[in-house]
Structure 1
Amino acid sequence: MKNIIIFLLIFSSTLFSAGYQVPNNSVNSVALSTAYIANANGADSAYYNPANMVYNENNHEVELDATYVSLAQINYKSTDGVYDIKSKPHTAILPAFHYTSNKLSDNGIRVGFSMVTPYGLTREWENQPAISSAKKFELQTIELNPSLAIPINDKFSIGLGIRYLIAKGNVILDPATALYVDMKGDDEAFAYNIALSYKYSKELSLSATYRSDIMLNIEGDANVIIAGPSYSTGASLKVAIPDNLILASAYTFNDTTTIEATFDMTFWSKVTETNFEYNDATAEAIFGRTTPKKWHDTYAYRFGLTHKYNNILTLMGGIAYSTNAADEQYVSFSSPESDSMTYSIGTKYKINDSFKLGFAALYSENKSRSVTNTTVKGKLSDKSVYTLTAGASYKF
């Protein structure tokens, strides 16, 4: 199992939205711009709202998804006109798996399991001034999330989950001809998630989900050049994964059309610094540093529409606005934060009573941003993300 997970980490080098959060890990979530909490149903409810598993049909269901991600080149133009450079474009394929059980007891207890890519960051530059502080910044994660759903009564249910996060990181800095560092490491950690669902009526559903924070300490080795031949030293980098709270409501008209609105808050204010440490005293003196990174909490406002066109075809669409985590003085080449708008569409096609296929597309456009601080003195623009998702679900 560990070998499979490591393969998936290598396979799923990824991107970030706000901070380095990746919220889209199923056909439904992509198609609805992640306005998919109160109306979460089927196998992927195990991840997006495990409390809703008690309202699924009384059978087992599995879903397998693959998301192709294209991260466009970011353009940087310095204010003084000296630099006009672009980051390297990146593509990735993100796998996801979801499972929900049938009723395991008379009162309707269910279990679920998800394997997702919840966080990631890939940013790579090839030219000065970016390569001095961010020639390459890469964070890859895989999360295993078993969950339990307990019905309290006919209208109210609670979901509980354990999160096991495995992470790999790679940082390359190239500040000068005689200075260079290439650091690689990994870590793993546990956290938890909680979900609440309330069926106010047949039409109206209210939900809340919470995921706890995680502090990763990416430990490994660094190849270092300091005015001479390269050598290896132990190194580490602390990475904060903040907690996340989502409040959601969904209303269904005529048993065919569901509108969902969600308010998403991620507590990035817990990210207070970037801390590199090296075992070698010389490397620590030159490259080791604790840099203030006083980010603030981010908010996302998401709206999704699901329409059952007929018994076979379901149509979906979504829109979202997300704020960024960094004030101007903390914007960097590794994390060029800005507000974003997201647009998405998708469909699900019922092959038979057991088998469904789904497809979704999403486009996220980040605003251009002019920045003046110690590392960035210019305009960052053309930051956009395209995703295409295909998935299949099966009931048995």
Structure 2
Amino acid sequence: MSRFSSPLLVGILLSAQQLTGHAAGFALSEQSGSGMGNAYAGAAAVAEDASTIYFNPAGMTYIQGRQLVGALHTIKTSGDFDNQGSLAAAGRPLGSEGGDFGSWAFLPNLYYKQDLTEQLKFGIGIGTPFGLKTEYNRNWLGRFQAVKSELKTININPSLAWKVNDQWSLGVGISAMWAEAELTSAANLGLLGTTTVKNKGDDWGFGYNLGAIYQATPDTRFGVAYRSKVEQHLKGDVRSPFTLANGSPTQTLNTDISADLTLPETFSFSAFSHLNDQWELLTDITWTRWSQFKQLRIIRENGSNTTVGPTITEHWNNVFRYSVGLNYLYSDTIKLRTGLAYDDEAIDNEHRTARIPGNDRIWFSLGASWQYSPQTKLDIGYTHLFIKDARINDDQRPTRGLIAGKYEGSADILSLQFAYNF
């Protein structure tokens, strides 16, 4: 049996995320259609609809009666690698630059909130906090380090909120998260040629989230929110077709594997204020603890406890995300939104690998809300991500080659949301 530790899965997940509209690393911010138009500024304080269950469960005290919210986010990522001095693995041709390794993705959210008492509220949210996919051409020059990387997650988040008094609201939630990760790459077999290796595993992990909102004045409130880390132990297998030197038919190696995966904790501070009858201001700072990801290491679990492949030190950093948004109340039924955000990447240029080529990004967001009826509200949001070029100089010769060059990319996100009170 083989075992690969959390940083390897981090590589899988981040390479799947690095050119999409997300927080730093491989986290997904797309948990609300209404928040998209503000680049999720003020998310822990605004409490506009039941999607607050994810951002700050205390916000449920600001929502009247029962509410059902559904959202769908359509994401198109684009990414290209520009070769600037790469060298091939031993005995192998260099290969192409990989083509456009972005993709389309569709991320859903679903939330339900109801009153238990006048002060106590219950809600449940279902979303996708980590995920998406990237895939290089199979003959690209970095194929011995990465070809396809994919992550799927589902997070189920039941929550409670308590209105302490007219100023304070508190919230708590529990997260049950399913994750499935898949990693494929080429393997250099020397005189036997090359083969494809696919690692795949899944598991459930558990965590919690806490929140509080302080209503400082009738027009201004502040929110703080904490989401814990989620530890998972993925189990699956690794498969690799190969042909023996004696020319016998191709066989497939199938070995059970497991993987320890820790998803990082976050802490957010948000503010929301009615400036006047037409304008609202939203701000947010979110901290993510990426520094717990220290190295990429694969261990063989056959009793030998030996390392498979090189151990790569990752040097991840804790990062902040900053955002600011404005709402314009055009009429009693229409609200227009805009927002800007800056995401700091967790990885320095000197430690970037082909599986982790992300970089700092800027969000520019627009959106609108339409109160179609007293019970029904529709939201639309759009974001374009400007992603800073990411340089790489990762030397894993002789077996995996040298990857040297620059990544360029961008992302576009369109979100639609429906909210119904009953």
Q: Using structure 1 for the length normalisation, give the TM-score.
A: 0.90
Provide the residue aligned with 2:328 in structure 1.
Answer: 307
Unaligned runs of 5+ in 2: 1-14, 88-93, 245-250, 397-401
Alignment of 1:202-221 (within 5 A): 202-221=218-237
2:125 maps to amino acid? S
Residue 307 of structure 1, CA deviation: 2.0
Provide the residue aligned with 1:123 in structure 2.
Answer: 134
Corresponding pairs, count: 380
Residue 14 to residue 252, structure 1, CA distance change in 2 (3 Å): farther
Provide the residue aligned with 1:362 in structure 2.
Answer: 383
1:238 maps to amino acid? D
Provide the residue aligned with 1:73 in structure 2.
Answer: 79
Structure 1 range deviating more: 76-85 or 139-148: 76-85
Give RMSD over aligned pairs.
2.3
Provide the residue aligned with 2:91 in structure 1.
Answer: none
Provide the residue aligned with 1:95 in structure 2.
Answer: 108
- Please tell me whether residue 391 in structure 1 is matched to residue 417 in structure 2: yes
Residue 370 of structure 1, CA deviation: 2.2
Any idea what SS the aligned residue of 1:53 has?
helix
Contact 2:39 2:323 in 1 (8 A): yes
Any idea what SS the aligned residue of 1:351 has?
coil
Provide the residue aligned with 1:10 in structure 2.
Answer: none
Aligned equivalents of 2:265, 2:373: Cα separation in 1 = 39
- Please tell me whether residue 19 in structure 1 is matched to residue 25 in structure 2: yes
Provide the residue aligned with 1:262 in structure 2.
Answer: 284
Any idea what SS the aligned residue of 1:221 has?
strand
Aligned equivalents of 1:351, 1:314: Cα separation in 2 = 12
Aligned equivalents of 1:349, 1:275: Cα separation in 2 = 50
Provide the residue aligned with 1:46 in structure 2.
Answer: 53
Cα distance per residue 1:16-72 (max 9 Å; x no partner): 531101011211221111112211222111212211111222x10111111111111
Contact 2:142 2:403 in 1 (8 A): no
2:258 maps to amino acid? S
- Please tell me whether residue 342 in structure 1 is matched to residue 363 in structure 2: yes
Select the residue among 193, 197, 200 that pairs with 2:209. Answer: 193
- Please tell me whether residue 253 in structure 1 is matched to residue 275 in structure 2: yes
Provide the residue aligned with 2:122 in structure 1.
Answer: 111
Aligned equivalents of 2:277, 2:123: Cα separation in 1 = 26
Aligned equivalents of 1:217, 1:275: Cα separation in 2 = 15
Residue 47 to residue 67, structure 1, CA distance change in 2 (3 Å): same
Provide the residue aligned with 2:165 in structure 1.
Answer: 153
Any idea what SS the aligned residue of 1:28 has?
helix
Contact 1:142 1:165 in 2 (8 A): yes
Residue 15 to residue 371, structure 1, CA distance change in 2 (3 Å): closer
Any idea what SS the aligned residue of 1:86 has?
coil
Aligned equivalents of 2:127, 2:343: Cα separation in 1 = 21
Residue 379 of structure 1, CA deviation: 3.0
Any idea what SS the aligned residue of 2:363 has?
strand
Aligned equivalents of 1:42, 1:369: Cα separation in 2 = 37
Contact 1:193 1:212 in 2 (8 A): yes
Provide the residue aligned with 2:185 in structure 1.
Answer: 173
Cα distance per residue 1:235-273 (max 9 Å; x no partner): 123332100011111221224321111111110001122
Contact 1:328 1:373 in 2 (8 A): no
- Please tell me whether residue 378 in structure 1 is matched to residue 404 in structure 2: yes
Counting aligned pairs with the same residue, the percent is: 24
Residue 285 of structure 1, CA deviation: 6.8
Residue 275 of structure 1, CA deviation: 3.6
Aligned equivalents of 1:116, 1:345: Cα separation in 2 = 22
Contact 2:97 2:141 in 1 (8 A): no
Any idea what SS the aligned residue of 2:373 has?
coil
Aligned equivalents of 1:187, 1:124: Cα separation in 2 = 23
Higher Cα radius of gyration: 2
Contact 1:31 1:347 in 2 (8 A): yes
Aligned equivalents of 1:187, 1:386: Cα separation in 2 = 30
Aligned equivalents of 1:74, 1:281: Cα separation in 2 = 42
Unaligned runs of 5+ in 1: 1-12
Aligned equivalents of 1:329, 1:233: Cα separation in 2 = 34
Residue 217 of structure 1, CA deviation: 2.3
1:113 maps to amino acid? I
Any idea what SS the aligned residue of 1:52 has?
helix
Q: Using structure 2 for the length normalisation, give the TM-score.
A: 0.84
- Please tell me whether residue 351 in structure 1 is matched to residue 351 in structure 2: no
1:246 maps to amino acid? S
Select the residue among 22, 30, 45 that pairs with 2:36. Answer: 30
1:166 maps to amino acid? W
Residue 120 to residue 275, structure 1, CA distance change in 2 (3 Å): farther
Contact 1:238 1:275 in 2 (8 A): no
